Structure 1
Amino acid sequence: MSKQGAEREGVVEQELEIIEEAVLTLRETGKKAPEIKGIPTGIEGLDDLFFTTVFENGKAKLIPLGGIPQYSVFNITGISDTGKSLMAEQFAIKQASLGNSVAFITVESPAHFVASSMKMRALAMGVDEKSVDENIVFIDAASFNKLREDIPTLLNTLAYAIKKYKIKFTVIDSVTGLYEAKEMIARVIVRQLFNFMKKWYQTAIFVSQKRSGQEELSAEAAGGFAIPHIVDGTIVLSKVLINSQYTEKIYKRPIGEIVRLFRIDGCRMSGHSTDTYLLEISESGLVKIGPSLKEIANKK
Structure 2
Amino acid sequence: MGLDTMLSGGLIENSICALVGTYGTGKTMLALQFAYEGLSRGEKVIYISLEEREEHLRATMAQKGWDPGAFGDRFYLLKLDPTDFNLAINSIKNELPALIESTGASRVVIDPISLFEGLFEDESERRREMFRFVEVMRDEACTLVLTSETRPGNPEESRYGIIEYLADTVILLRYIRSPGLTEVHLVIEVVKMRRSAHSREIKPFEILQDGILVHSEASLF
The TM-score bracket by the shorter chain reads 0.7 to 0.9
Provide the aligned length of Structure 1 versus Structure 2.
218
The alpha-carbon distance between structure 1 residues 258 and 73, as it changes in their structure 2 partners (threshold 3 A), is same
Q: CA deviation at 1:234?
A: 0.3
Q: Structure 2 CA distance, aligned partners of 1:143 and 1:287?
A: 27
1:139-174 superposed Cα distances (whole Å, 9 cap, x missing partner):
3213782332x2x44233212322332111110001
In the other structure, the counterpart of 1:239 is 175
TM-score normalised by structure 1 residue count: 0.66
The one-letter code of the counterpart of 1:238 is R
In the other structure, the counterpart of 1:200 is 140
Q: Structure 1 CA distance, aligned partners of 2:55 and 2:151?
A: 27
Match status 1:269 vs 2:195:
yes
Q: CA deviation at 1:107?
A: 0.7
Q: CA deviation at 1:211?
A: 2.4
Q: Structure 2 CA distance, aligned partners of 1:161 and 1:115?
A: 21
The one-letter code of the counterpart of 2:94 is N
Q: Pick from 1, 5, 15: which aligns with 1:72?
A: 15
Deviates further, 82-91 or 257-266: 257-266
Match status 1:163 vs 2:101:
yes
State the SS of the aligned residue for 1:75: strand
Q: Structure 1 CA distance, aligned partners of 2:184 and 2:72?
A: 34
The answer as to whether partners of 2:7 and 2:198 remain within 8 angstroms in 1 is: yes
* Structure 1: stretches of 5+ with no match in the other structure: 1-43, 52-65, 249-254
The one-letter code of the counterpart of 2:168 is D
Q: Structure 2 CA distance, aligned partners of 1:262 and 1:197?
A: 26
Q: Work out which structure has the larger RCO, using CA pairs closer than 8 Å and 6 or more positions apart in sequence.
A: 2
- Could you say which structure has the larger radius of gyration? 1
Alignment of 1:124-139 (within 5 A): 127=66, 129-139=68-78
In the other structure, the counterpart of 2:130 is 190
* Structure 2: stretches of 5+ with no match in the other structure: none
The answer as to whether partners of 1:71 and 1:204 remain within 8 angstroms in 2 is: yes
In the other structure, the counterpart of 1:50 is 7
Q: Pick from 172, 196, 214: which aligns with 1:289?
A: 214
TM-score normalised by structure 2 residue count: 0.88
